[in-house]
Structure 1
């Protein structure tokens, strides 16, 4: 391979003086004894794929060019254990602890895991070198190991350093730039920073360090929007990107290599953005793609800075395109009126314009069903990112944009906010999208949401355009929710939280359950996992101007809805 010829012979070992001057980032929380024991007993991070299947997939991918269509391996799951983040968890457990009876065993196990992986995966051989991002994620692990594993022999330490050098060289030659410039780019830049710092007594190392810092600075102002939101329109990837920045900033400043003060002010905006969406336990709704990736390791986070957030009110994020309503009792409603994703490919965006999610006291009730998996099951990939899987309206059974592949959209829609004001009954936000302008008879979808002061909200969907169409309104429910009907009112309960829904005016909500024959009504609690769930749907057909949906949603006793009907008709 050309890349193999790029590797210089006789790479100088990492200087002990340089290594001594580099600071370990702070991890929170540290690995628990139970987590460590699980790893020592053979547990790995596998994204809900059994290890036998992973070994089969890894062998298959070693002999083919890449992940393909139906029935092919999901390379994302294969990559997960090769990030070596289980080793990071062990190293975090070792860091700062006094010697104990199990620490030598943990240290030796970490050493064997690291060297064993290098033995099994020679440089540029096999699927783990296909992604520069995956290589970049391993570079910090090599650094942590060289700092903390005092049981590495000089030859073994040199070998780990050479692996870090080779990985950084490969990352530099394969940076994700141009149309692929997203979270991969941030990850690769962070890898260059760690690799460059380790070899900064050499010209190439200094170049990596400078390149990584510069690229991180450029991407920060592009990917973290002015309101703190995510350019990629994915909360999960935003968490991943922010953590990469916190990790790298801590490393750079602790090592005296760069002042990251300007980064931190923007990162705090990002934390405030995510904080507005977070449940009391820190869980985020599954808006956009999620591959359950971690900057450090599952269960480990870098030191973050966050500001206290108001517990109630209406928070607007105009650059990202979201409004988050919060009310007493722990009610949180999200309203998505943002773009499809990061242009030009919109890789990790879902066609979820004007979609809602709702949680109460930390219990998710109206949900975004998530991602499931990226590769090997294209029909499921298509469903989970499609419009029908979200709490919005489909027209003529079509998505709001056109899925070209699992990671490429065409005909992206535009959204705009029409009104944002304090209404007599609370807060009003109205927005529209033009995703169905591509139809022979184009249609605009407009949604108004009013959060009332009476523990309820009203949602009004209206349409403008030519011709007659089929309209489907969806409300996806958490799979653990119990659903009952009382006349025109549907009651949804999960844990100690309960909401009710009913239509205002004509139409009827029907309860559907997920089945293998139809993907509608499925939920992905984590990457690689899906379970059947329930949804409420209302179907109408007709001309645009004579078709609309009015929905009342409340948390508490179902009240007299006369004022809601009047409000819905006035929107």
Structure 2
């Protein structure tokens, strides 16, 4: 039976290696060897959290209070309400309703490798509900509220929850240490807190010594398993590289700081250059992960080192790709690809789906001018120390060669047509998104859940869920795992200029094995809508 299963799986495995590439396969094998040999357990030992008497050079500082009040306007009240909820032990996860802020996992008695090897022992159905509060993303709201009010209850709430986390999650024990990416995101939040609460009377030297120690051990957790991030070559690699670089910049006197800075900087530039196509398309084919990637780039830039030209060009193209899909009226975007609800730099008000804060900051950073007129979405620019005196903003509808869009600011549509050079996120070729007066009336369902029981185990990535054609009850591509599609459907565009400047035509070959090529055209008719 074992040999039969091997023979069945072997062709699929070989195809996966061919489509993923030898480099990613090699790094995944390295990671597995490290896990199975016990190397990672030895490299990340359990021990008490250290304290460090060293400088913490956070790049974050409290912006001018009056300027923040002007920018926030009517969004000030929701911000204070959010921070008050955190101070009272409540938090909004993934932009959803308020829930208790829980930082203690069901169990944290074993080394993190034991949980990584057996996820079913974690005590939760979906690990994101365990990880999200432990990312400390809620600290950004506390810092923003403190910047406006100078109310000491906000830094006090951070320090109390920081202590709770350390007590409930011993170093390198439990599921909150199982992912180096989670360690990196938590580290970045700690660095923000160090800057936001530096002048607070609730912040003592002893607390900063604990914080410095926590930043250091989080960086030490990232480095040994960098092979996993390289194997994924996606947001894991970017955020983990950013975590190393940020730790090295923030703790310049630490004996490992120089190595963290160099490894992190080299790694993040390789990641940007390999994951962003020249036309701005991001390797994960996901709107939310595209934003995450830009958030990471903005944080890396904040430490003051200029990106190489090769990286800068890719980031500029990526910013245009995002801006070309922002609805001018609502700030929302098509819900393309995987969406786990992540928002790693929540330095602005507005709903989770409003992409104007990231778009505005990325436009200033990588295109040299604003994308939108002044608004509450400018708060992120204040925290990132971006100049607010801009030349006239970009055109109302920025163009990207990788975004196939028709219409104007009131009524518009996009056609999904891509030639995959990296793993597809969903089987969504020739999906059409339709927008009217700020409403997404024909939409992509997104993701909902990755790891819930069927049918919600990342089921919304399938073809039949999208606004496209399914042939023979089959997906456009062969699903080989929760996050892996093989036999990639490739699309190509047709030149429509000979008969219309307001049309898009494309086809994909995902059903070629059935003798079918799916061709689709979209035409804008008049300006009455």
Q: TM-score range by the shorter chain?
A: 0.7 to 0.9
* Residue 357 of structure 1, CA deviation: 0.4
- Contact map agreement 1:374 1:381 (CA 8 A) in 2: yes
CA separation of 1:377 and 1:220: change in aligned 2, threshold 3 A = same
Mapped partners of 1:219, 1:12: distance in 2: 32
Question: Which structure 2 residues correspond to residues 209-224 of structure 1 after superposition, within 5 A?
Answer: 209-224=261-276
User: Over aligned residue pairs, what C-alpha RMSD do you find?
Assistant: 3.3
Task: Establish whether residue 268 from structure 1 lines up as the match of residue 344 from structure 2.
Answer: no
Mapped partners of 1:403, 1:194: distance in 2: 37
- Residue 38 (structure 1) aligns with: 85
Query: Which of 169, 173, 176 does residue 224 from structure 2 map onto?
Result: 173
- Contact map agreement 1:89 1:297 (CA 8 A) in 2: yes
Mapped partners of 1:201, 1:354: distance in 2: 53
More strand by share: 1
TM-score (norm: length of structure 2): 0.73
Task: Establish whether residue 422 from structure 1 lines up as the match of residue 497 from structure 2.
Answer: yes
* Residue 14 of structure 1, CA deviation: 5.1
* Residue 7 of structure 1, CA deviation: 5.9
- Residue 436 (structure 1) aligns with: 511
Task: Establish whether residue 317 from structure 1 lines up as the match of residue 401 from structure 2.
Answer: yes
TM-superposition CA deviations, 1:401-430 (whole Å, max 9, x none): 11222111122222222x123254543322
* Residue 236 of structure 1, CA deviation: 1.0
CA separation of 1:312 and 1:132: change in aligned 2, threshold 3 A = closer
Mapped partners of 1:66, 1:87: distance in 2: 30
- Contact map agreement 2:238 2:268 (CA 8 A) in 1: yes
- Residue 445 (structure 1) aligns with: 518
- Residue 16 (structure 2) aligns with: none
Query: Which of 404, 425, 428 does residue 352 from structure 1 map onto?
Result: 428
- Which piece of structure 1 moves more, 4-13 or 390-399? 4-13
- Residue 239 (structure 2) aligns with: 187
- Which piece of structure 1 moves more, 272-281 or 299-308? 299-308
Which protein has greater RCO, CA pairs closer than 8 Å, 6+ apart? 2
Mapped partners of 2:104, 2:247: distance in 1: 32
CA separation of 1:309 and 1:212: change in aligned 2, threshold 3 A = same
Task: Establish whether residue 159 from structure 1 lines up as the match of residue 210 from structure 2.
Answer: yes
CA separation of 1:105 and 1:202: change in aligned 2, threshold 3 A = closer
* Residue 26 of structure 1, CA deviation: 8.0
* Residue 78 of structure 1, CA deviation: 1.6
- Contact map agreement 1:67 1:375 (CA 8 A) in 2: no
Mapped partners of 1:117, 1:57: distance in 2: 10
- Residue 106 (structure 1) aligns with: 154
- Contact map agreement 1:437 1:443 (CA 8 A) in 2: yes
- Residue 385 (structure 1) aligns with: 461
Task: Establish whether residue 133 from structure 1 lines up as the match of residue 209 from structure 2.
Answer: no
TM-superposition CA deviations, 1:303-327 (whole Å, max 9, x none): 43244454469x5534xxx411122
Task: Establish whether residue 83 from structure 1 lines up as the match of residue 138 from structure 2.
Answer: no
- Residue 142 (structure 1) aligns with: 190
* Secondary structure of the corresponding residue to residue 480 of structure 2: strand
CA separation of 1:91 and 1:26: change in aligned 2, threshold 3 A = closer
* Residue 61 of structure 1, CA deviation: 11
- Residue 235 (structure 1) aligns with: 287
* Residue 217 of structure 1, CA deviation: 1.2
* Secondary structure of the corresponding residue to residue 393 of structure 1: coil
CA separation of 1:66 and 1:279: change in aligned 2, threshold 3 A = farther
Q: How many aligned residue pairs are there?
A: 431
More helix by share: 2
TM-superposition CA deviations, 1:233-280 (whole Å, max 9, x none): 111110111011112211x11xxxx22374555433222211111112
- Contact map agreement 2:427 2:463 (CA 8 A) in 1: yes
* Residue 203 of structure 1, CA deviation: 4.0
- Contact map agreement 1:67 1:74 (CA 8 A) in 2: no
Task: Establish whether residue 342 from structure 1 lines up as the match of residue 342 from structure 2.
Answer: no
TM-superposition CA deviations, 1:515-551 (whole Å, max 9, x none): xxxxxxxxxxxxxxxxxxxxxxxxxxxxxxxxxxxxx
CA separation of 1:412 and 1:261: change in aligned 2, threshold 3 A = closer
Task: Establish whether residue 278 from structure 1 lines up as the match of residue 326 from structure 2.
Answer: yes
